[in-house]
Amino acid sequence: MLSRRLYVLPFLALLALIVVWPLSTVVVGSFKPGAPLEHYAYILGSRFYLKAFSVTLKLSLLTTALGLAIAVLPAIALRARSRRLSDLALTIGNIGANFAGVPSVLAFMILLGSNGIVTKLLREAGLMEGFDLYSWSGLVLTYLFFQVSIGTVLVLPVITAIPRDIEEAADLLGQGGARFWASVGLPVVWRQLLSVATLLFANAMGTYATAYTLMGTSAQIVTVRIGELVAGDVFADPGLANALSICLLVVLIAPILLAQLLTAKGTKA
Amino acid sequence: MSRHLSGSFLFLLAGLFALPFLAIALSAVATDWSDALLPRHIGLDVITSVLGDPRFQASVLRSLAISFTALALSLALIVPAIVAAHVYWPALDRWFARLVVLPYAVPAVVLVVGYLRVFSQPPVQINGTPTLLALAYVPLCFPMLYVNVKNALQGLAVRDWLDAGRLVGATDERVLLCVVLPMIAPAIGLACVLNLGILMGEFVYANLLVGGRFETLQIYMFAQRSESGSVTSVIILAYFLTLLLLTALAIWLSARGGTDKR
Amino acid sequence: MNSQSSPTPRNFLDIDRVTAAYGETQVLHGVSLDVSEGEMHVLLGPSGCGKTTLLRAISGLQPISGGTMTLGGTRIDDKAPDKRGLAMVFQHYALFPNMSVRGNLAFGLRGKGLSRPQIDERVERMLHTVDLTARADARPAALSGGQRQRVALARALVVEPRLLLLDEPLSALDAQIRKRLQLELKRLQRAAGLTAILVTHDQDEAMRLGDRITLMDAGHIAQTSTPAEIHARPANRFVARFFGEANILPADWFVPGLGGHAVVHPTALMPAPDASATVFTADVIDTEHLGALRRVNCRASGEEIRFDFLPASTPLDITPGTRIAFGVRGDAIHYVDG
- In this structure, which amino acid lies at residue C135? R
Whether residue A135 contacts residue B235, with contact meaning beta carbons closer than 8 Å, is answered with no
Closest to A203 measured CA to CA, from A17, A29, A60, A73? A60
Quick one: pLDDT at residue A121? 77
How far is B215 from B123, CA to CA, in rounded Å? 26
Quick one: pLDDT at residue A11? 93
Question: What ipTM does the predicted assembly reach?
Answer: 0.87
Please state, for a pLDDT cut of 90, what percent of chain A lies above it. 22
Nearest by CB to residue A4, choosing from B9, B106, B172, is B172
What is the mean predicted confidence (pLDDT) over C259-275? 78
What domain range is B30 assigned to? 1-43
Sequential DSSP letters for C93-153:
----TTS-HHHHHHHTTTTSS--HHHHHHHHHHHHHHTT-GGGTTS-GGGS-HHHHHHHHH
Quick one: pLDDT at residue C2? 43
Q: B175: nearest CA in chain C?
A: C96
How far is C81 from C100, CA to CA, in rounded Å? 25
Residue B89 Ramachandran class (φ > 0 left, ψ -120 to 50 alpha, else beta): beta
Quick one: pLDDT at residue B75? 95
**Residue A3 belongs to a domain:** no
Nearest by CB to residue B166, choosing from C82, C96, C155, is C82
CATH number of A227's domain? 1.10.3720.10
Whether residue C217 contacts residue C230, with contact meaning beta carbons closer than 8 Å, is answered with no
What domain range is A183 assigned to? 38-268
What is the mean predicted confidence (pLDDT) over C86-109? 93
Q: Which residue has the higher pLDDT, B259 or C168?
A: C168
- In this structure, which amino acid lies at residue C61? L
Count of Cβ atoms closer than 10 Å to residue C158 Cβ: 24
Q: Which residue has the higher pLDDT, C140 or A39?
A: C140
Q: At A43, is the pLDDT very low, low, confident or very high (cuts 50, 70, 90)?
A: confident
**Residue A198 belongs to a domain:** yes
Dihedral of the alpha carbons of C19, C22, C26, C32, in degrees to the nearest 10:
-20
How far is A91 from A151, CA to CA, in rounded Å? 13
**pLDDT tens readout for residues A45-79:** 888 888 889 999 999 999 999 999 988 888 888 88
List the 210-239 stretch of A: residues with Cβ below 8 A of B. 212-213, 223, 226-227, 229-231, 238
- Strands in C196-200's sheet, in edge-to-edge order, are C86-89, C163-167, C196-200, C40-44, C212-217, C220-225
**pLDDT tens readout for residues C280-328:** 788 888 888 888 888 888 888 888 888 888 777 666 667 888 888 877 8
pLDDT reading at A168 higher than 70: yes
Residues B174 and B68 grouped into a single domain: yes
CA-only gyration radius of chain C, Å: 24
User: Pairing mode, if any, of strands C40-44 and C196-200?
Assistant: parallel
CA A199 to chain centre: 6
Tell me if C98 and B182 make a contact (CB, 8 A cut-off).
yes
Quick one: pLDDT at residue C18? 93
Whether residue B214 contacts residue B64, with contact meaning beta carbons closer than 8 Å, is answered with no
CB pairs under 8 A between B and C: 61
pLDDT reading at B199 higher than 50: yes
| Residues of chain C found within 8 Å of residue B182, distances taken between Cβ atoms | 98
Quick one: pLDDT at residue C134? 92
DSSP code of B122?
T
How far is A3 from B51, CA to CA, in rounded Å? 52
Q: Interface partners of C (3+ CB pairs, < 8 Å)?
A: B
Quick one: pLDDT at residue B61? 93
CA A96 to chain centre: 14
| Phi, psi for residue B260 in degrees, rounded to 5 | -60, -35
Tell me if B167 and C97 make a contact (CB, 8 A cut-off).
no
Whether residue C95 contacts residue C139, with contact meaning beta carbons closer than 8 Å, is answered with no
What is the mean predicted confidence (pLDDT) over C128-154? 92
Residues B23 and B106 grouped into a single domain: no
Nearest by CB to residue C88, choosing from B167, B178, B183, is B167
How far is B255 from B245, CA to CA, in rounded Å? 15
Number of domains in chain B: 2
DSSP 3-state assignment of C329? strand
- In this structure, which amino acid lies at residue A139? L
Report the number of secondary-structure helices (H) and strands (E) in chain C: 8, 18
Least confident of A167-171, B26-30, C124-128: B26-30
DSSP code of C286?
E
Quick one: pLDDT at residue B183? 93
Adjacent-strand bridge partners of C43: C199, C214
**Residue B48 belongs to a domain:** no
Q: At B1, is the pLDDT very low, low, confident or very high (cuts 50, 70, 90)?
A: very low
Q: How far A10 CA lies from chain B's nearest CA (Å)?
A: 6
Residues B82 and B163 grouped into a single domain: yes
Mean pLDDT of chain C: 86
**Residue B49 belongs to a domain:** no
Q: At C60, is the pLDDT very low, low, confident or very high (cuts 50, 70, 90)?
A: very high
pLDDT reading at A172 higher than 60: yes
Residues B96 and B34 grouped into a single domain: no
pTM greater than 0.80 (yes/no):
yes
Residues B185 and B252 grouped into a single domain: yes
CATH number of B123's domain? 1.10.3720.10
DSSP code of A208?
-
Q: At B259, is the pLDDT very low, low, confident or very high (cuts 50, 70, 90)?
A: very low
Quick one: pLDDT at residue A65? 94
Quick one: pLDDT at residue C65? 92
pLDDT reading at A147 higher than 80: yes
CA B145 to chain centre: 11
Q: Angle CA(A67)–CA(A58)–CA(A20) in degrees, nearest 5?
A: 85
Q: At C334, is the pLDDT very low, low, confident or very high (cuts 50, 70, 90)?
A: confident
**Residue B250 belongs to a domain:** yes
Closest to B96 measured CA to CA, from B26, B38, B145? B145
What is the mean predicted confidence (pLDDT) over C109-114? 84
| Residues of chain A found within 8 Å of residue B201, distances taken between Cβ atoms | 98-101, 103
Whether residue B180 contacts residue B244, with contact meaning beta carbons closer than 8 Å, is answered with no
Tell me if C61 and B169 make a contact (CB, 8 A cut-off).
no
Dihedral of the alpha carbons of C39, C42, C43, C44, in degrees to the nearest 10:
-160
- Strands in C293-300's sheet, in edge-to-edge order, are C269-270, C323-329, C277-290, C293-300, C303-309
Tell me if A11 and B77 make a contact (CB, 8 A cut-off).
yes
Quick one: pLDDT at residue C326? 77
Residue A179 CA neighbour count, 13 Å, CB half: 9
Residues B34 and B60 grouped into a single domain: no
Residues B94 and B171 grouped into a single domain: yes
Cis previous bond, B139, omega within 30? no
From B24, B43, B62, the end of a domain falls on B43
Residues B70 and B90 grouped into a single domain: yes
Q: How far C161 CA lies from chain B's nearest CA (Å)?
A: 10
Q: Which residue has the higher pLDDT, B28 or B216?
A: B216
Residues B86 and B126 grouped into a single domain: yes
| CB proximity A199 to B under 8 Å | no
pLDDT reading at A174 higher than 70: yes
Quick one: pLDDT at residue B262? 35
Q: How far A18 CA lies from chain B's nearest CA (Å)?
A: 7
**Residue B92 belongs to a domain:** yes
Tell me if A249 and B110 make a contact (CB, 8 A cut-off).
yes
| Residues of chain C found within 8 Å of residue B161, distances taken between Cβ atoms | 94, 96
Nearest by CB to residue B208, choosing from A95, A230, A248, is A230
Whether residue A232 contacts residue B207, with contact meaning beta carbons closer than 8 Å, is answered with no
Whether residue C130 contacts residue C143, with contact meaning beta carbons closer than 8 Å, is answered with no
In angstroms, the Cα distances linking A250 to A148, A264, B106, C228 are: 24, 21, 10, 74
Quick one: pLDDT at residue C245? 81
Q: At C1, is the pLDDT very low, low, confident or very high (cuts 50, 70, 90)?
A: very low
Residues B128 and B196 grouped into a single domain: yes
**Residue A7 belongs to a domain:** no
| CB proximity A193 to B under 8 Å | no
**Residue B215 belongs to a domain:** yes
pLDDT reading at C4 higher than 60: no
Tell me if B222 and A245 make a contact (CB, 8 A cut-off).
no
Q: At B83, is the pLDDT very low, low, confident or very high (cuts 50, 70, 90)?
A: very high
How far is A196 from A68, CA to CA, in rounded Å? 8
DSSP 3-state assignment of B119? coil
Q: Which residue has the higher pLDDT, C38 or B33?
A: C38
Residues B28 and B146 grouped into a single domain: no
Mean pLDDT of chain A: 84
Count of Cβ atoms closer than 10 Å to residue C97 Cβ: 17
Quick one: pLDDT at residue C237? 87
Whether residue A246 contacts residue A26, with contact meaning beta carbons closer than 8 Å, is answered with yes
Runs of H (alpha helix) within A80-135: 83-99, 102-112, 117-124
**Residue B80 belongs to a domain:** yes
Residues B1 and B85 grouped into a single domain: no
Tell me if B102 and A19 make a contact (CB, 8 A cut-off).
yes
Number of domains in chain A: 1
How far is B174 from A172, CA to CA, in rounded Å? 59
DSSP code of C9?
P
Please state, for a pLDDT cut of 90, what percent of chain C lies above it. 45
| CB proximity A207 to B under 8 Å | yes
**Residue B97 belongs to a domain:** yes
**pLDDT tens readout for residues B93-124:** 988 888 888 888 889 989 998 888 888 777 77
Q: Which residue has the higher pLDDT, A35 or B88?
A: B88
pLDDT reading at B248 higher than 50: yes
| Phi, psi for residue C286 in degrees, rounded to 5 | -160, 175
Q: Angle CA(B227)–CA(B230)–CA(B231) in degrees, nearest 5?
A: 50
